[in-house]
Copies of this chain bind each other. A is one copy, B any other.
């Protein structure tokens, strides 16, 4: 080992900047065009390098997508949501809807994931995994009956994904024109009910 600043952090390579540029361009293209129309050549052009570099660093197109779509929803900790006295005056539904809007508008990864997941098996699996592993625990902690947790998570996912689809992908004009606050006000009770209501 020559230089390890802390523990076993990989050394900074000169190619890190290039790799990052490729990933950023890939996310933009996947988000804008979906899997098939986002060509390696176009991504390389955006990143200002040669297409063969993409192959060198990510193996093939699937590997590139896997690297570009790594994603953490960063949902608030379950404990934070359930401990008594948390969220003063706020409901879980509103917190979650706002958080999802934040995550959706922060970068283009979720849009890419959605656009790709619709026509690509790997993308669909990753979308499944994100909602199962990251939203699932929240539903499990809030659901009155633990056995219902997966269904409740799927219901929340359906409403969140549906709004994202309408607003960020299909761009239905009324969905685009609604203010952030209007969306939160309408969707929060829905999400709240899907997670916590005793019966439909």
Contact = CB atoms under 8 A, between A and B. Distances in A.
Contact of A119 (B34, B128, B151, B186): B34
Nearest to A151: B174
A172 interface: yes
Interface of A: 33-34, 36-37, 114-115, 117-119, 124, 127-128, 131-132, 150-151, 153-155, 157-163, 165-167, 169-175, 177-178, 182, 185-187, 189-190, 193-194, 200
Contacts of A151: 174, 177-178, 182
Contacts of A166: 154, 157-158, 161
Contacts of A177: 151
Contacts of A189: 193, 200
27 contacts: A33-B119, A34-B36, A34-B119, A36-B119, A118-B118, A118-B165, A118-B170, A119-B119, A124-B170, A127-B170, A127-B172, A128-B170, A153-B174, A154-B166, A154-B174, A157-B162, A157-B166, A157-B172, A159-B159, A160-B162, A161-B166, A161-B170, A162-B163, A165-B165, A185-B200, A186-B200, A190-B190
**Count of identical protomers in the assembly:** 2
Contacts of A118: 34, 114-115, 118-119, 165, 169-170
The DSSP consensus for interface residues of chain A is: helix
A148 to B, nearest CB: 10
Nearest to A191: B190
A101 B93 CA distance: 26
A154 B168 CA distance: 13
A28 to B, nearest CB: 15
Nearest to A155: B186
